[in-house]
Amino acid sequence: MEIELAHRLSTLSHPKRLAVFRLLMRRCPDVLPAGEIAQVLALKPSTASVYLGALTQAGLISQQRKGTQLLYGVNLAAAQHVIADLFLDCCRGRADLCPPLQPTGKATAPAKTKLNILFVCTGNSARSIFAETILRDMGGDRFNAYSAGTAHRSALNPIAVEVLKSKGHDLSHLRSKNIGTFQGPDAPVMDFIFTVCDRAANEECPPWPGQPVSGHWGMADPVKATGTQAEKYLAFQQTYGALHNRLAAFTALDFDLLDRSSLQTRIDMIAKTPIKRTTKP
């Protein structure tokens, strides 16, 4: 145990290897090609390959092949073992000296009448706006839905607005917001935070108060769709449908019975649900 722990800690002691590991942790349950990892972290492909090899050898990440690509994902069991080994070894499990491995008990405070959910994207113009609006109408009696973007400035996408209008949603509350709006002392404490685009998940953010449960529901940006106006509109419709399906599964969860670990597992399972694509506008 000690040799394996020392090896893993030594591997993570290198800042760039640690950056690769943290990126894959933020993108969990996604698996990423080496080229994307190198691009996000501004690494040379050869350098990224060396770091990925070291992390794989230490068992901290896993590797799988898809066609000609090698895909990498975080090994959650190994990460938990590192924390558990440190906790049990240095503190003998004493809660007064070391924190628990993860918050225990239910994911949310039982006294709360509504759960606060924040959807984060880069621009807060389409995907996160869709999610906020869908959840507000789908479960407004149980959830407070919010959305924000990591970019400094953005605006609502007109096609996204048109799609929401066609679905009968009330748009009077909608506006594009920066993530800083929800990081001040007067901001609501979030119970759940979902990133709905890969770029937002790639960015490092400061810890959120209250240790909210997080999930990554990344999907393609409909704003980048090309072709005719009908084809662009279809891309937005598909994104709306995918988020609607995921939020329907999310709101069906029994939050009173699930602990944090079980809830996280289900959120990750929802993220892996295939997105159905249609070919006709």
pLDDT number for residue 256: 85
pLDDT number for residue 277: 54
| Predicted confidence (pLDDT) per residue in 28-58, tens digit | 888 999 999 999 899 999 999 999 999 999 9
The yes-or-no answer on residue 205 being catalytic is: yes
Yes or no: is domain 115-271 CATH 3.40.190.80? no
- CATH 1.10.10.10 domain extents, the chain: 2-91
| Predicted confidence (pLDDT) per residue in 211-262, tens digit | 789 899 988 899 999 999 999 999 999 999 999 999 999 999 998 888 888 8
User: Burial, 42: exposed, middle or buried (Cβ in 10 Å; 0-12, 13-18, 19+)?
Assistant: exposed
Q: How far is CA 146 from CA 31, 133, 176, 264, in A?
A: 27, 8, 11, 20
Number of Cβ within 10 Å of residue 61's Cβ equals: 26
pLDDT greater than 90 at residue 168:
yes
User: Catalytic pick from 28, 90, 98, 121?
Assistant: 121
Q: How far is CA 158 from CA 73, 164, 241, in A?
A: 36, 10, 18
| Predicted confidence (pLDDT) per residue in 238-247, tens digit | 999 999 999 9
User: Catalytic pick from 28, 90, 91, 205?
Assistant: 205
Architecture of the domain made up of 2-91:
Orthogonal Bundle (1.10)
Q: What angle do CA 118, 150, 145 make, to 5 degrees?
A: 15
**Higher pLDDT residue, 89 or 246?**
246
Model-level pTM?
0.74
